[in-house]
């Protein structure tokens, strides 16, 4: 048995499909921090769409397959506050009244973390060596912020980088309007919320918008690009890992 903590990377379905470089960035950041990283290939989705649609039975089935695939690791890390929140906070709710799975789930959930908070809070990382020259602002995604209390962690890491000039936008803790299926079920309201958000992003006068969740990033990038904005959008892990050779999310202006 190695002394390095063995970390199972929960890639998340949006990173898998839309932004593989975030997956590779996460692997690099975890390895640089001294972790032994594994990626179970059978993983699909954390089950949030079912959970938020009120479908408890299918949520439980998906949760069990995630738990089985990942419980052997010392830690389970996801580059998303939303999915990590599902694994850490909501899985125990799913099995709260199921004696067969309750304890096993709680044991699993305790080991689950969002990427930036795992790096700082568990691995004690205070500095990343990548360099990136940009004026950036950071959007605090709701689930990470409120369920997992992620606020300072990505900022500690970003501020340790050479070239990053971080400034805060107005209402950085306000929802971007994504909300998973909300963005298509109530698309008009979702659009109104993200329009307000994109105004704050523009007002911050930055080159680059960062956040820790692909859903929010795709929503904000989609709006900014439709408006012809020059602000580029990336997942925070790409910048922290120095893996910014791919075009930004939604491309350039």
Partner 1 sequence: MQVKSQSFKENSKKALNDKTLQKALTKVRGNFINKRKKAVDELPEFDTLRDNARDIKNHTLDNLDLYLEEFEKKVVDQGGHVHWAQTASDARGQILDICRKANAKTVTKGKSMISEEIELNDFLEASGITPVETDLGEYIIQLRNEAPSHIIAPAVHLTMDQVREDFIKAHSHLPDDRLLEDPQSLLLEAREVLREKFMEADVGITGANFLVAETGTSVIVTNEGNGDLTQSLPRVHIVIASLEKLVPTLEDMSQIMRVLARSATGQKMSVYTTLSSGPKRKDDPDGPDEYHVILLDNGRTDMLGTEFQEMLRCIRCGACMNHCPVYQQVGGHAYGWVYPGPMGAVLTPNLIGVDKSGHLPNASTFCGRCEEVCPMRIPLPKMMRHWREREFEKHLTPPAQGRNLKLWLMLVKRPNLYRKVVRIASFGLRLFGFRKSRTGFLPMAGAWTKDRDMPTPEGKPFLSQYKGKQKIS
Site for partner 1 in 125-164 (CB under 8 A): 142-143, 146-147
Q: How far is the CB of 130 from partner 1 (least distance, A)?
A: 19
- Pairing relation of β-strands 131-138 and 75-78? unpaired
Q: How far is the CB of 228 from partner 1 (least distance, A)?
A: 10
Q: Which of residues 5-44 bind partner 1 (CB under 8 A)?
A: 6, 11, 13, 15-24, 27, 36-44
Beta strands (DSSP E) in the chain are 6-9, 36-38, 75-78, 112-114, 131-138, 162-166, 208-211, 232-235
Which is closer to partner 1, CB of 81 or CB of 154? 81
Interface residue with partner 1, options 30, 67, 125, 218 (CB under 8 A): 218
Q: Which of residues 51-110 bind partner 1 (CB under 8 A)?
A: 51-56, 58, 61-62, 65, 72-73, 93
Q: How far is the CB of 106 from partner 1 (least distance, A)?
A: 18
Q: How far is the CB of 153 from partner 1 (least distance, A)?
A: 18
3-class secondary-structure state, position 133: strand
> Rounded to an integer, what distance in angstroms lies between the CA atom of residue 213 and that of residue 102?
28
Interface residue with partner 1, options 212, 219, 231, 240 (CB under 8 A): 219
128: alpha, beta or left? (left if phi > 0; alpha if psi -120 to 50)? beta
Q: How far is the CB of 127 from partner 1 (least distance, A)?
A: 25
Is residue 119 involved in binding partner 1 (CB under 8 A)? no
Residues 77/10, Cβ–Cβ less than 8 Å: yes
> Rounded to an integer, what distance in angstroms lies between the CA atom of residue 192 and that of residue 190?
5
Interface residue with partner 1, options 80, 137, 190, 236 (CB under 8 A): 190
Tell me the C-alpha to C-alpha distance, in Å, between residue 145 and each of 75, 114, 213, 250, 252.
20, 11, 11, 24, 28
Q: What is the DSSP letter of 122?
A: I
Which is closer to partner 1, CB of 3 or CB of 127? 3
């Amino acid at each position: 048995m190695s002394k390095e903590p063995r970390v199972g990377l929960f890639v998340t379905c949006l990173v898998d499909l839309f932004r593989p470089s975030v997956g590779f960035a996460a692997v690099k950041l975890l390895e640089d921090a001294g972790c032994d990283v594994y990626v179970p290939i059978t993983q699909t989705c954390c089950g949030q769409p079912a959970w938020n649609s009120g479908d408890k039975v299918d949520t439980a089935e998906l949760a069990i397959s995630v738990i089985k695939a990942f419980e052997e690791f010392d830690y389970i890390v996801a580059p998303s506050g939303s999915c990590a929140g599902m694994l850490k906070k909501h899985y125990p709710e799913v099995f709260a009244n199921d004696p067969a799975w309750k304890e096993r789930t709680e044991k699993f959930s305790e080991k689950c973390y969002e990427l930036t908070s795992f790096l700082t809070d568990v691995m004690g990382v205070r500095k990343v060596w990548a360099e990136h020259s940009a004026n950036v602002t950071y959007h605090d995604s709701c689930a990470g912020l409120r369920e997992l209390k992620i606020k300072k962690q990505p900022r500690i890491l970003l501020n340790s980088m050479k070239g990053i000039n971080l400034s805060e936008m107005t209402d950085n803790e306000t929802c971007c309007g994504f909300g998973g299926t909300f963005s298509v079920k109530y698309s008009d309201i979702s659009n109104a919320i993200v329009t307000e958000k994109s105004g704050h992003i523009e007002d911050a006068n930055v080159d680059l918008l960062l956040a820790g969740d692909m859903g929010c990033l795709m929503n904000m990038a989609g709006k900014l690009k439709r408006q012809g904005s020059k602000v580029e959008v990336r997942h925070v892990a790409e910048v922290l890992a120095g893996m910014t050779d791919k075009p930004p999310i939604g491309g350039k202006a």
